[in-house]
Amino acid sequence: MEEILKVVEGQREYFLTGKTRDFSFRKKALEKLRQNIIDMKGEIFEALKKDLNKSEEESYMTEVGLTLSEISYMLKKGRKFSRRKKVHLSFSQFPAKGYKVPVPYGCVLVISPWNYPFMLAIEPIVDAITAGNCVILKPSEISPNVSEVVKKLIEKTFERGHVDVVLGGKEECTYLLDQDFDYIFYTGSTRVGKIVMQKASEHFTPLTLELGGKCPCIVDESADLRMSARRIVFGKFLNSGQTCVAPDYVYCASSIKDRLVEELKREINRQYGDALNNEKYPRMINLKQFNVMKGFINDENLIFGGKSDEKTLKIQPTLISSTFESEAMQDEIFGPILPIVTFDSLDECEENIRRYPKPLALYIFSKDKKVQRRFAINCDFGGGCINDTIMHITDSRLGFGGIKQSGMGAYHGKAGFDTFTHYKSIVKKGKLDLPMRYQPITKSKYKIIKMFLK
Ligand code: NAD
């Protein structure tokens, strides 16, 4: 642990040098990171293959490519974000100028999970350094090959003290959480999120929690079932369902269930074929997760799929029939099992969604604009799509984050810059001012004060 303490202390000293206050410095660091990711992409793909059996194509689309596009966006917009913003003040301030001055928090702790082990480690760093912070990253011990490559990339790219990596598991993470950071950014389970929040309160450290939950995917009677099925299968079985914003379950009108199931089966076959022997189909991260997934499948509820291979840790894309009381509906699934739950009316659907904990994402498949609007507005969730899945997290122009049990705060693009920034409010006064605030406050001054402040 002494080594970790040295890294933390080194980082505090580094921040005090003030190097990161200059946007040109941040820009150079972002450019170097971009180039080094491109140079090391072979190693990154290899590590993702080892940890999760991700194919190069999926790894580029969901990890490397998304990270590069966040860097490109910050290179384009970061300087503008970093400028002080002029604020037009009220007449009572006359004559004065007002500014909001963005400043970095300082030393940031980023804790990342195993499911998108590259993207979820590097993207928060991109946003944090664009805003001028120093970062210590604690990647997941459960995806060790990617964590090693990430460490190599960071050490090749950044000066020690600017961005550092601490490898390890619960023990190392707890030790880091005991230190006094200026900001904590955590991605992972709700259970550990609670621990992180408690630890942050010890030092009054502001934090962002990017958590999980059960993301519903509503399909109503008017939906284009073929298109819905294609997009649901894409979002659900990407990374074998180990995606925080994957549709956790389909919640469809009972009248269309059979037709939707037929379309889902057809799409699974079209997109994955013989999934267990498809070398591009990702596996479960470990035997524990593999067994948890298998436990959700039984003879009574199985609609489609259900086969698995313990040697490769792969599970077929699987459809099961469920109700809100089923075992698979009690917690986030985080694997390639898709429960199909039905409703008889939109009122019933809305009521059940609103009774459940607030999800990270919600998807609505419907041609009816009133239905689209109704669910987008009435239900609480982090973010989502109408007639699609997952795509809302892929654009730096949209912030991404959860609400309550699914998280707090957001990142990506401007939302990410703001997360890692404190805005100082500054009033700049000239020699002149309105004298009514100075003691003694006479009757006439008091009258003027009341004119201004109402
Ligand atoms: P996890 O909470 O087990 O681990 C995340 C990190 O916390 C790891 O770096 C780990 O070392 C550390 N950690 C684990 N236990 C700890 C403890 N007791 N004390 C201190 N640190 C500890 O999460 P996971 O299993 O890696 O990730 C899966 C979860 O993350 C799912 O619930 C998923 O929905 C969620 N998730 C959310 C997002 C998002 O962006 N909102 C993205 C990916 C995953």
Q: Does residue 376 carry a pLDDT above 90?
A: yes
- Tell me, using a 6 A CB cutoff, whether residue 147 lines ligand 1: no
Share of the chain above pLDDT 70, in %: 100
Closest CA to 178 of 191, 161, 195: 195
Q: Is residue 37 part of a domain?
A: yes
Q: In the predicted model, what is the mean pLDDT of residues 164-187?
A: 97
CA–CA distance, 453 with 358 (Å, rounded to integer): 40
The closest residue, in CA terms, to atom 36 on ligand 1 is 188
User: Do residue 173 and residue 33 come from a single domain?
Assistant: yes
Residue 222: give its domain's CATH number: 3.40.309.10
User: Do residue 119 and residue 102 come from a single domain?
Assistant: yes
Mean confidence (pLDDT) of the chain: 96
User: Do residue 93 and residue 192 come from a single domain?
Assistant: yes
Distance 192 CA to ligand 1 centre (A): 6
Quick one: which atom of ligand 1 is closest to the CA of 112? Answer: 9
Of the residues 66, 192, 245, 330, which should be mutated to test ligand 1's pocket, given the most ligand atoms within 8 Å of the CB?
Answer: 192
The closest residue, in CA terms, to atom 23 on ligand 1 is 188
User: Do residue 167 and residue 220 come from a single domain?
Assistant: no
Q: In the predicted model, what is the mean pLDDT of residues 285-303?
A: 96
Q: What is the pLDDT of residue 94?
A: 82
For 40-83, the pLDDT digits (tens) are 999 999 999 999 999 999 999 999 999 999 999 999 999 999 99
List of residues 6+ apart from 443 with CB closer than 8 A: none
Q: What SS3 string covers the chain?
A: CHHHHHHHHHHHHHHHCCHHHCHHHHHHHHHHHHHHHHHCHHHHHHHHHHHHCCCHHHHHHHHHHHHHHHHHHHHHHHHHHHCCEEECCCHHHCCEEEEEEEEECCEEEEECCCCCCCHHHHHHHHHHHHCCCEEEEECCCCCHHHHHHHHHHHHHHCCCCCEEECCCCHHHHHHHHHCCCCEEEEECCHHHHHHHHHHHHHCCCCEEEECCCCCEEEECCCCCHHHHHHHHHHHHHHHHHCCCCCCCEEEEEHHHHHHHHHHHHHHHHHHHCCHHHCCCCCCCCCHHHHHHHHHCCCCCCEEECCCEECCCCEECCEEEECCCCCHHHCCCCCCCEEEEEEECCHHHHHHHHHHCCCCCEEEEECCCHHHHHHHHHHCCCCEEEECCCCHHHCCCCCCECCCHHHEECCECHHHHHHHCEEEEEEEEECCCCCHHHCCCCCHHHHHHHHHHCC
Of the residues 244, 330, 332, 411, which should be mutated to test ligand 1's pocket, given the most ligand atoms within 8 Å of the CB?
Answer: 244
**29-38, 336-345, 423-432: least confident range:** 423-432
Distance 190 CA to ligand 1 centre (A): 8
Q: What is the pLDDT of residue 191?
A: 94
- Tell me, using a 6 A CB cutoff, whether residue 173 lines ligand 1: yes
Q: In the predicted model, what is the mean pLDDT of residues 311-328?
A: 97
The closest residue, in CA terms, to atom 26 on ligand 1 is 113
Give yes or no for a contact between 240 and 314, defined as CB atoms under 8 angstroms apart.
yes
Give yes or no for a contact between 67 and 119, defined as CB atoms under 8 angstroms apart.
yes
CA–CA distance, 329 with 38 (Å, rounded to integer): 41
Of the residues 189, 194, 197, which should be mutated to test ligand 1's pocket, given the most ligand atoms within 8 Å of the CB?
Answer: 189
Report residue 434's pLDDT band, with 50, 70 and 90 as the boundaries: confident
User: Do residue 79 and residue 117 come from a single domain?
Assistant: yes
Report residue 170's pLDDT band, with 50, 70 and 90 as the boundaries: very high
Q: Does residue 118 carry a pLDDT above 90?
A: yes
User: Do residue 94 and residue 140 come from a single domain?
Assistant: yes
Q: What is the pLDDT of residue 433?
A: 81
Share of the chain above pLDDT 90, in %: 95
User: Do residue 30 and residue 164 come from a single domain?
Assistant: yes
- Tell me, using a 6 A CB cutoff, whether residue 141 lines ligand 1: yes
Give yes or no for a contact between 138 and 172, defined as CB atoms under 8 angstroms apart.
yes
Angle between helices 65-82 and 23-39 (to 10 degrees): 170
The closest residue, in CA terms, to atom 9 on ligand 1 is 140
- Tell me, using a 6 A CB cutoff, whether residue 187 lines ligand 1: yes
Q: In the predicted model, what is the mean pLDDT of residues 81-90?
A: 95
- Tell me, using a 6 A CB cutoff, whether residue 188 lines ligand 1: yes
User: Do residue 65 and residue 206 come from a single domain?
Assistant: yes
Cis peptide, bond prior to residue 440, ω within 30 of zero: yes
Residue 402: strand pairing partners: none
Q: What is the pLDDT of residue 453?
A: 87
Q: Is residue 446 part of a domain?
A: no
Angle between helices 257-272 and 225-237 (to 10 degrees): 50
Q: In the predicted model, what is the mean pLDDT of residues 178-182?
A: 97
Of the residues 52, 166, 187, which should be mutated to test ligand 1's pocket, given the most ligand atoms within 8 Å of the CB?
Answer: 187
Quick one: which atom of ligand 1 is closest to the CA of 244? Answer: 34
Distance 401 CA to ligand 1 centre (A): 15
Q: Does residue 140 carry a pLDDT above 90?
A: yes
Residue 173: give its domain's CATH number: 3.40.605.10
Domain closes at, from 393, 411, 436? 393
Q: Is residue 431 part of a domain?
A: no
For 206-222, the pLDDT digits (tens) are 999 999 999 999 999 99
Q: What is the pLDDT of residue 338?
A: 98
Q: List C-alpha distances in Å: 295 to 118, 182, 259, 275, 289.
A: 29, 42, 27, 19, 10
Task: Please report, to the nearest 10 degrees, the dihedral formed by the alpha carbons of residues 41, 315, 141, 39 taken in order.
Answer: 0
Quick one: which atom of ligand 1 is closest to the CA of 140? Answer: 9
Distance 57 CA to ligand 1 centre (A): 25
For 389-415, the pLDDT digits (tens) are 999 999 999 999 999 999 999 999 999
Q: Does residue 454 carry a pLDDT above 90?
A: no
Q: Does residue 95 carry a pLDDT above 90?
A: no
Domain with 308 in it: 216-393
Total domains in the fold of the chain: 2
- Tell me, using a 6 A CB cutoff, whether residue 189 lines ligand 1: yes
User: Do residue 186 and residue 117 come from a single domain?
Assistant: yes
Give yes or no for a contact between 324 and 354, defined as CB atoms under 8 angstroms apart.
no
Distance 38 CA to ligand 1 centre (A): 27
List of residues 6+ apart from 201 with CB closer than 8 A: none
Distance 191 CA to ligand 1 centre (A): 8
- Tell me, using a 6 A CB cutoff, whether residue 195 lines ligand 1: yes
Catalytic center residues: 210, 244
Give yes or no for a contact between 336 and 240, defined as CB atoms under 8 angstroms apart.
yes
Report residue 259's pLDDT band, with 50, 70 and 90 as the boundaries: very high
User: Do residue 173 and residue 39 come from a single domain?
Assistant: yes
User: Do residue 347 and residue 242 come from a single domain?
Assistant: yes
User: Do residue 48 and residue 134 come from a single domain?
Assistant: yes
